[in-house]
Amino acid sequence: KNSEVLGAMAKADIKPKSVHHAKKWSDDVENLYRFQQAGYRDEVEYKQVKQVDMVECWPETGFVKKLQRRDNTFYYYNKQRECEDQEVHKVKVYVY
């Protein structure tokens, strides 16, 4: 359900209304961390730039599995959490 909304937003070239920094870790913050490491705001921007409908995720955890950077190199991520507590405050959460 959520990914359908994101897919529609990606096609419409939506820009975020506001942004704040994450306060505590969550599954969503983990995935944002992964997108931001690869050079994107979030899943919406990734889908806009890369023109993809789906992002590969680990079925066990739902975390992003791999992302393609803008220079076309790939980032591969673990099943487990990668965003450490001291990194959480660096993650930007975009509001649409």
| 25-69 residue pLDDT tens | 999 999 999 999 999 999 999 999 999 999 999 999 999 999 999
pLDDT at 12: 64
pLDDT at 11: 61
Q: Encoding tokens for residue 49?
A: 């730039």
Question: Longest C-alpha distance within the chain, in Å?
Answer: 34
Q: What is the C-alpha separation between 9 and 7, in angstroms, rounded?
A: 5
Q: How much is the pTM? A: 0.87
Is 67 in contact with 74 (CB distance < 8 Å)?
Answer: yes
Q: What confidence category does residue 14 fall into, taking pLDDT thresholds of 50, 70 and 90?
A: confident
**Amino acid (one-letter) located at 34:** R
Average pLDDT of every residue of the chain:
91
Q: Where are the domains of the chain?
A: 18-95
CA angle at 91 for the pair 87 and 96, rounded to the nearest 5°: 165
